[in-house]
Amino acid sequence: MTTDYDKIAKEYQESKLQPWRTHIERYTLLSLVGQIQGLCTLDLACGEGYYTRLLRRLGADPISGIDLSKGMIDLAISQETTEPLGVQYRVSDVRDINFGAKSDLVFAAYLLNYASNYEEILSMCEAIVRNLKPGGRFVTVNNNPDDPPSNFETGRKYGYSKRIHGRLEEGSPVHWSFHLPEGTVEVTNYYMSTLTMERALHEVGLTHIHWHKPQVSPEGIQRWGESYWQDFLANPPITFFECTKR
Ligand SMILES: C[S@@+](CC[C@H](N)C(=O)[O-])C[C@H]1O[C@@H](n2cnc3c(N)ncnc32)[C@H](O)[C@@H]1O
């Protein structure tokens, strides 16, 4: 069963403060995004707007954030009200959006791992391609399908752990726990193989798929030391890719 983010919006927001989020997730994603000054951008499954705001500050314009959870979008809008950046937010299933093929960049942090079967990932990919200009880019981070279940507890030192019930197979629920100072917050998403993801991307006309491993920021190495990150990098729980609309 998928996670209802309305119930954990604030806690999930706090999980973004864990060091691996800043020094690996954010650093790698923003390196992949590159120069985006003036690019029409969509942030799908934007949550409370963590990346939407960062992309806007990097020059994305116009930019909209879309999320299924009203609780998450309420948090995003309240931050937009406190510090207006000119971001538009909308509560919607990303599979329903149609802004026209206008976006230069579609970005999504942890959207595809909410698809529990081929039809669902296909309809997410159709939405991505429907909203991208020809030649536009899709940049994303999701669960790493190659992270073996035997590795699921090594994340504890970084503040998270994962578990599954039974065998890890297409559509298996993957339960993440983020261990925060105030307690543990749990989210559930789904396992999907690289092959299935690539099949859906190709089917909708997304090509030039480049997978990227996590990178640690120079600040992360300086602050925590190189050896601190070794377990994460040896079996990364997340993976990144970019691709292009034909
Ligand atoms: C792990 S959170 C990531 C939020 C944000 N991208 C970030 O990195 O902080 C996943 C988000 O995906 C949203 N989500 C899941 N399925 C969705 C769908 N079909 N359409 C829109 N949002 C979806 C959830 O509501 C949740 O806010």
User: Ligand 1 mean position to 68 CA, how many Å?
Assistant: 7
Q: What is the pLDDT of residues 168-227, one digit of tens each?
A: 899 999 999 999 988 999 999 999 999 999 999 999 999 999 999 999 999 999 999 999
User: Ligand 1 mean position to 222 CA, how many Å?
Assistant: 31
Q: What is the pLDDT of residues 79-96, one digit of tens each?
A: 999 999 999 999 999 999
Pairing of strands 63-67, 41-44: parallel
Domain boundaries, the chain: 5-144+192-223+236-245
Phi, psi dihedral angles at 80 (to 5 degrees): -65, -35
72 lines ligand 1 (CB under 6 A): yes
Strand partners, 210: 242
As a whole number of angstroms, the distance between CA 9 and CA 25 comes to: 19
- CATH code that applies to domain 5-144+192-223+236-245: 3.40.50.150
Using CA atoms, how far residue 194 sits from 144, 147, 169, 223, in Å, is: 9, 12, 12, 33
176 lines ligand 1 (CB under 6 A): no
The larger pLDDT score, comparing residue 9 to residue 44, is at 44
- For residue 1, the model assigns a pLDDT of 56
Coil, strand or helix at 125: helix
First to last CA, the chain: 34
Burial 217-233 (b: 16+ CB within 10 A, else e): beebeeeeeeebbeebe
Q: Which of 148, 175, 121, 170 is nearest to 237 (CA)?
A: 148
232 lines ligand 1 (CB under 6 A): no
As a whole number of angstroms, the distance between CA 246 and CA 186 comes to: 38
Percent of the chain with pLDDT over 90: 87
User: Ligand 1 mean position to 42 CA, how many Å?
Assistant: 13
Considering only CA atoms, which residue is closest to atom 4 of ligand 1?
Answer: 47
Considering only CA atoms, which residue is closest to atom 19 of ligand 1?
Answer: 93
Considering only CA atoms, which residue is closest to atom 27 of ligand 1?
Answer: 47
- For residue 153, the model assigns a pLDDT of 82
Considering only CA atoms, which residue is closest to atom 12 of ligand 1?
Answer: 45
* Positive or negative torsion for Cα 235, 236, 238, 244: negative
Mutate to test the pocket of ligand 1, among 4, 5, 77 (most ligand atoms within 8 A of CB): 5
CA angle 108–158–228, rounded 5-degree value: 110
Q: What is the pTM of this model?
A: 0.97
User: Ligand 1 mean position to 189 CA, how many Å?
Assistant: 10
As a whole number of angstroms, the distance between CA 198 and CA 196 comes to: 5
